[in-house]
Amino acid sequence: MQLDQFISPESTLTGVDGGSKKRLFETISRCASDLHPEIDSETTYDALLERERLGSTGLGEGIALPHCRLDNCHQIIGMLLQLKQPIDFDAIDGQFVDLVFVLLVPQEAVDEHLQALKAIAELCANQEYRASLRSAKSNADLFVAATTTSPQAEGI
């Protein structure tokens, strides 16, 4: 599974205002609905919030991976946001988050959901990969940094 199968240049954004987890989820939901009109903004927001109540999706190292499954979703939809200011995400290492990968997944796509989560988590464990995402100055640069295959990204 390649990252560019579910993350597009249009869904890769730099300079995003986070503010708080809830505000960020509102932004994510609105953007997802704008890019994919079949996705209801309110339903997405509620699903992301509900998933986050089960436990923080803050991976550590300044990365969060909010994700949820949706009924009206027909393919994996990914987003990558580089935040203007880091926000508290209750991450396991206590670090504030400045990079947010988002996965919206069809309700029945359990295996694909797990594969995508694993792939992103493995990429984000690489310090050079995280640094390249953080150094991106534009949406296009961020997309290229996220999807350029490196030895650590092979086989995603």
Terminal CA-CA length for the chain? 4
> Exposed (0-12), middle (13-18) or buried (19+): which is 114, by Cβ within 10 Å?
exposed
Angle between helices 41-54 and 21-35 (to 10 degrees): 140
Of 70, 58, 141, which Cα lies nearest the Cα of 105? 70
Q: Are 47 and 70 in contact (CB under 8 A)?
A: yes
Catalytic residues: 67
- CA dist., res. 121 & res. 62, Å (int): 12
Rg (CA), the chain: 14
